[in-house]
Every structure is written in structure tokens, then in C-alpha cells.
Amino acid sequence: MNSSEDSLAPARGGDEDAFRLIFEQNSRFIMRFIYGMVGEREQAAELMQETFLRAYRNINSFQPNTKLSTWLCAIAKNVVRESLRARRREHGNLQLDDDAVAELSDAERLLDELVLDEELRRVIHDALAELSEDKRLVFTLKILQQRSYEEIAEITGFSVAKLKSDVHRAKIEMRERIRPYL
């Protein structure tokens, strides 16, 4: 079994090892997508778990003509949106959790410094938080995760034209914020 798609049939039959393979091959992408949306690691981990739990429950409703990662990402998108709405109801207008960046462990900080300046990370984090939810969604998928417009259209249900427009506007907004660091 090499791909997630190959694991589908046994996973549908309740084979947990097959589902584990699906998880291992897609969890990073899903985790990063969710983190891009919520900006907080612990919450991203919880929402990723919820995403795969829903996928497990509904694996028999998966349509074979869809890419598995696309299907998972669509579930993740719904999970994230529900969570954001719930948080908005609880706390009013949502701001991405700054503490998530501040509370990185030492190991994470070290890694972070290697890949991205902490200050620049915070700037991107805050800039993402300022985007509207739709723009953040398409920006995360298109720019942060380099997915095709067709796939994003499938995940989000938006037209490619709207996606291009949203990505263009999101890039302008993000660029303005990070320009001093470029």
C-alpha cells in the first residue's frame, strides 16, 4: 500500500492500520492548513484530531473521484470554521492567539530561528489574523501550501475567479505588512 487512496478500501472496512496510513500521509498538510487558519498550535492539533475523527466516521461517504487530501482539507475547513465561529461567540471578534508564538518551547524556538526569524513569524502571524476568514483560507491554501486553484475551489466551494481575486487582495495586504522585513 503506497498511497492514501490505496488505503481507502481497507479503511472503509474498518481497518485501523489502513486509516493510520491515511493519517500519516495527510496529517502534516492538514495540521499546517489548520495552523495557518487559527495560528495556535495546540488548537490546531485538537482541530486536526477532530478532522480525522470526522473523516473516520464518514469515510464511506468519500467520493472516489475526489482527491483524498482535498476531501480531508474540506473537512478541516469546516472544522476550523465551526471553531472560529464558536470562539467568536465566546470572545467577540477573534484575534489569533499571540501567546502561541510566545509560548514556543526552546526546541521549537531553535528550529524557528533556523527557518524564520521570530519577529518575522509574528508579523506574518498577525498579518494573517488581520485577513478576512475567506482571504485567510485561500491565502493559506494557495500561498502557504501551494495548492492549485482547482483543488482550492474543490475544498472551499468557491469559484476559481473568486479565489484568484481573494488571493490577489490577500497578497497585497500581506505584502504591505511584511514589506519592511523583506
Partner 1 sequence: MRCEENQEMLEAYVEGELDEGAQARVASHLSTCGVCAGLQHQLERELNLFSLYLLDVNPSASAWDALRVKIDQEKAAEQASAITTTAFAAATTARPPLWAAFQRAFSSPSFALACSLLIVACAIVYVLSRAGGGTNVGGENDVARLVPATPAIVEKLAPPVEEKTARHQTATGATGATRRNSIAGASTTSARSEDDSQRVTSRRMRSGAVVSRSVTKRRTAAGPGDSRLEDGDPDEAVSDDVASGDALLHKAEQQYQAAIAKLKLDAARRRIEPDVLAQFEKSLVAVNSTIARTQRAVREHPGDLTAAQYMLAAYSKKVDVLIEMTRH
Measured from the CB atom, is 16 or 99 closer to partner 1? 16
CB of 164 to partner 1, least distance (A): 9
89 vs 177, beta carbon nearer partner 1: 177
Nearer of residues 56 and 74 to partner 1, judged by Cβ = 56
The binding site for partner 1 (CB under 8 A) comprises 16, 19-20, 23-24, 27-28, 31-32, 35-36, 41, 44-45, 48-49, 52-53, 56-57, 108, 111-112, 115-116, 120-121, 124-125, 142-146, 148-149, 168, 171, 174-175, 178, 181-182
**Closest separation between CB of residue 115 and partner 1, Å?**
5
For the bound state, the minimum distance from the C-beta of residue 138 to partner 1, rounded and expressed in Å, comes to 12
C-beta of 68 vs 89, nearer to partner 1: 68
3-state per-residue secondary structure call for the chain: CCCHHHHHHHHHCCCHHHHHHHHHHHHHHHHHHHHHHHCCHHHHHHHHHHHHHHHHHCHHHCCCCCCHHHHHHHHHHHHHHHHHHHHHHHHCCCCCCCHHHHCCCHHHHHHHHHHCCHHHHHHHHHHHHHCCHHHHHHHHHHHHCCCCHHHHHHHHCCCHHHHHHHHHHHHHHHHHHHHHHC
Q: Among residues 113, 115, 114, 153, which one has the least CA distance to residue 137? A: 153
Q: Kindly tell me which of 137 and 174 has the beta carbon lying closer to partner 1.
A: 174
Smallest gap from residue 92 Cβ to partner 1 (A): 26
Task: Quote the least distance from Cβ 100 to partner 1, whole Å.
Answer: 10
